[in-house]
Amino acid sequence: MVLLLTVLIFAVTIGYFCYSVYFYGGRWVANPYNPRINNQKRYVRMGTVTDRSGTVLAYTDEDGVRRYNKNSAIRQAVSQVVGDSEGKVSTGVDTFHAQYLLGFKANILERLRDAVTGKQQQGDNLELTVSAELSKYITEHFPSGKRGAAVVMNYQTAEVLALVSLPQFDPTNLSAALSDSEAGALINRATQGLYPPGSTFKIVTMISAIDHLPNLNDFAFDCTGYYPVGNYSVTESAAHGVQNLTGAFAKSCNTTFAALSQELGYKLIGETARQLGFNENFMFNDMIVYNSSYPMDDLSAEDLAWSSIGQGRVLATPLHMTLIASIIANNGIFKEPRLLHRIITAGGSERMLPFAASDRSVISYETAQEMRRNMIEVVKNGTGTRAALSGYTVAGKTGSAEVSNDKSIEAHAWFVGFITEERAPYAVCVLIENGGSGGGTAAPLARRILQKCIDLNL
């Protein structure tokens, strides 16, 4: 029995080790404190990083010095995506994909060729899915002096077209970024920034209601401007009167969704949130994305009400909210986001891209279609009218996430949505820290970003 137990423990340990290497090995290699990274830089010329159109974002010169795009605006617009030569931005491509850029993925034949020819080993070149021009455009049109993020995806291919975070840093002048710790320029707010999603979370609550509550077509709620729950009241700036669920979603009525949450309960909303990625560990191959959270440990009625409208302790990243919009645009199908477009070896051949999780259905086709109609109504007649595009149908949701109890600090402004036409399959999320109204500041920027995507024909 002791022998069998010992063998079992050994087998479990080996199994867990193999599991860890498979899922976390790439992240361990990319750790900037890994001595193999710095050692490899002594012998291997780091590969070039370009955007989807071939614009060089980072390269290594003849002296082995890492260089970045000569245009300061482009260099800073993609700074958190590309990273830096010292590994200060561990989520950047220069560090996270060092296994390619520094030749760790080279096979024995490639290494023998370099040894025979006497050439210095050359790492792989990476072509990213992002557009430098789009990233620069977003940066230039972001509200002056504001922090935040913007994410753009092709929801059909799951390619990330822009991953912009503000404030930005200059990789050729890291000392300036390191001295300004308060601004947090080295943090990629698009993938690492966890914010209360505000009313954009009503997408999740609405999906839960569609899936779990019968006779929603007969639903009616009289918004008087406040809804008492527990020891608190969820309030509105003005009474909306009697409205159905589509109208309440379009007007982003807090009291209606607070009442809806009491019917649904923690279990149903939490299950829908989990299906859409909350409380899940994102193990994407192309990038590091922090985990969004929907609290399930406080079962009070008031906490439930606040969480249903994206307040309280609900937190999400802008990239995750873009993925939720993409799920609806893709009729309920989740696709893993991609940042690597091509991997080209020193010999000019293409290396196989990292494995991506298989597409999977997370909500039904019927639910996705219903949500699409509701989100179109937001942009046509609701809080998101300033995101509308001539010649295209935009579906979206605004959010104004409160960050202080007395509203003394301006709310975070959100917009998340997508163009419904397949000829322009773009999903977008805009977050402006302390930007005020989502409909007033985030929606117009989202419109400009979507228009730019169309103009560039990405």
Burial class (CB within 10 angstroms; exposed 0-12, middle 13-18, buried 19+) of 268 = middle
Residue 32 within any structural domain of the chain? no
The tokens describing 93, both together, are 């491509």
Q: What's the domain range around 328?
A: 198-456
Q: How many domains does the chain have?
A: 1
Residue 97 within any structural domain of the chain? no
Our CA angle for 78, 135, 190, nearest 5°, is: 70
The tokens describing 7, both together, are 């063998």
Residue 179 within any structural domain of the chain? no
Residue 99 within any structural domain of the chain? no
Question: Half-sphere exposure (CA, 13 Å, Cβ side) for 427?
Answer: 27
CATH code of the domain in which 399 resides: 3.40.710.10
Question: Half-sphere exposure (CA, 13 Å, Cβ side) for 458?
Answer: 32
Residue 167 within any structural domain of the chain? no
How many helices (H) and strands (E) are present in the chain, helices listed first? 16, 19
Residue 124 within any structural domain of the chain? no
Residue 424 within any structural domain of the chain? yes
Residue 144 within any structural domain of the chain? no
β-bridge pairing 49-50 and 125-128:
parallel
Find out whether 289 and 402 touch, Cβ atoms under 8 Å. no
Tens of each residue's pLDDT in the chain, 458 residues: 888 888 878 877 776 555 444 445 555 555 666 667 777 777 889 999 999 999 999 999 988 899 999 999 999 999 999 999 888 898 999 999 999 999 887 776 666 666 666 677 889 999 999 999 999 999 999 999 999 999 999 999 999 999 999 999 999 998 888 876 656 899 999 999 999 999 999 999 999 999 999 888 778 888 888 888 888 888 887 888 899 999 999 999 999 999 999 999 999 999 999 999 999 999 999 999 999 999 888 778 899 999 999 998 999 999 999 999 999 999 999 999 999 999 999 888 999 998 888 899 999 999 999 999 999 999 999 999 999 999 999 999 999 998 877 778 899 999 999 999 999 999 999 999 999 999 999 999 999 999 999 999 99
By C-alpha distance, which of 356, 205, 339, 227 is closest to 271? 205
By C-alpha distance, which of 418, 204, 446, 443 is closest to 311? 204
Cα–Cα dist 300/303, whole Å: 5
Cα–Cα dist 13/23, whole Å: 15
Cα–Cα dist 161/284, whole Å: 16
Task: Spell out where 168-301 has E strands.
Answer: 221-223, 226-229, 232-235, 241-243
